[in-house]
Amino acid sequence: MDWEYLLDLFLGGLTRGSIYALIALGYTMVYGIIELINFAHGEIYMIGAFTALIVASVLGLMGMNHIVIIILASVIAIIYSAAYGFTVEKIAYKPLRQAPRLSALISAIGMSLFLQNYVLLAQTSNFLPFPSLIPDFDFWEPYAHILTSQELVILITTAVVMILLTFLIKFTRTGKAMRATAQDKVMAALVGIDVNRIISTTFVVGSATAAIGGVLIASHIGQINFYMGFIAGIKAFVAAVMGGIGSIPGAVLGSLVLGWTESFFTGYISSDYEDVFAFLFLVVILIFRPSGILGRSETQKV
């Protein structure tokens, strides 16, 4: 039994899962609050990566300090992704809040299509190399063969984001308002919650976490492309659904499960069918548990 290989796959899966989690959170939060699959969410992730690249390149050419570049690029990427998420909601989803779900879903698909091609046309269809924003840490050197510095940063960042998000949802007023709105929009409005603002906040927070994911994965893999949001988005969505859409711990759980199973599947069986695997897994889960692993089973009010 090749333990080192197993550990490799395990950690690889953990890393993958972390990235999926950062994206899946956005999906699950938005779904929890307005019951919409935000197809365009993957594109927000992609835009985060692109924005970071652009900023980093400009700052790099200006000869800025490496640390400054990392910080500025990440922060600006987050701000922009949040702004995109906010705008997309206002344009494509808000007008359709009373409309049948099908309409909103189609609108989301349209938005996804639009953003992908927007970046494609404005930038390039090529794969753009992404600078390694995360340096190799000296103190981590002895362990670098198990887990690279980048992977370490990914894991730590994800953990920190989870903690911050949990804190936000559980202990702040805004978090309470988000939970209330997710449960009953009308009632929340009646007790004085500004539902529109809360929904916007949800999109902003979700987009921000996705942007973080975008920056991290771009540093890790080393290249970005206008299409990267789509596949990552689908998988993160699969993860969120598996864990039970609407549930934040579910999104994390689903992402980790997906990350690990993908890693082990490609490691031991085949890497050709990697993407197929995620979908098959989803189908199987949904057949036996239509609400996902941790999802609340929705008994329809008749």
Token digits for 126?
Answer: 């090529």
**Site for other proteins contains 98 (CB under 8 A):** no
**Site for other proteins contains 136 (CB under 8 A):** no
Judged by beta carbon, residue 168 or residue 234, the one nearer other proteins is 234
Rounded distance between C-alpha atoms, residue 271 and residue 279, angstroms:
14
CB of 13: closest distance to other proteins in angstroms? 20
Burial class (CB in 10 A: 0-12, 13-18, 19+), 48: buried
**Stated length of the chain:** 302
**Site for other proteins contains 169 (CB under 8 A):** no
The alpha-helical segments, DSSP class H, found in 125-184 are 149-171, 173-183
Judged by beta carbon, residue 58 or residue 146, the one nearer other proteins is 58
Token digits for 235?
Answer: 């998988």
- 3-class DSSP state for residue 132? coil
| Interacting residues of 62 by C-beta distance below 8 A, sequence separation 6+ | none
Token digits for 156?
Answer: 């730590």
**Site for other proteins contains 276 (CB under 8 A):** yes
Judged by beta carbon, residue 88 or residue 177, the one nearer other proteins is 88
Residue found by looking up tokens 């903690």 in the block: 163
Among 238, 256, 257, 258, binds other proteins (CB under 8 A): 238
CB of 292: closest distance to other proteins in angstroms? 9
Rounded distance between C-alpha atoms, residue 269 and residue 148, angstroms:
24
Token digits for 28?
Answer: 């699950």
CB of 92: closest distance to other proteins in angstroms? 5
**Site for other proteins contains 66 (CB under 8 A):** no
Looking at this protein, which amino acid is placed at residue 219?
Answer: S
Judged by beta carbon, residue 147 or residue 265, the one nearer other proteins is 265
Cβ atoms 285, 279 nearer than 8 A: no
CB of 171: closest distance to other proteins in angstroms? 27
Among 10, 114, 260, 264, binds other proteins (CB under 8 A): 114
Rule CB under 8 A: which residues touch other proteins?
A: 31, 35-37, 47, 50-51, 53-55, 57-58, 61, 76, 80, 83-84, 87, 91-92, 95-96, 99, 101-107, 109-119, 121-124, 128-131, 234, 237-238, 241, 272-273, 275-276, 278-280, 282-283, 286-287, 290, 298-300, 302
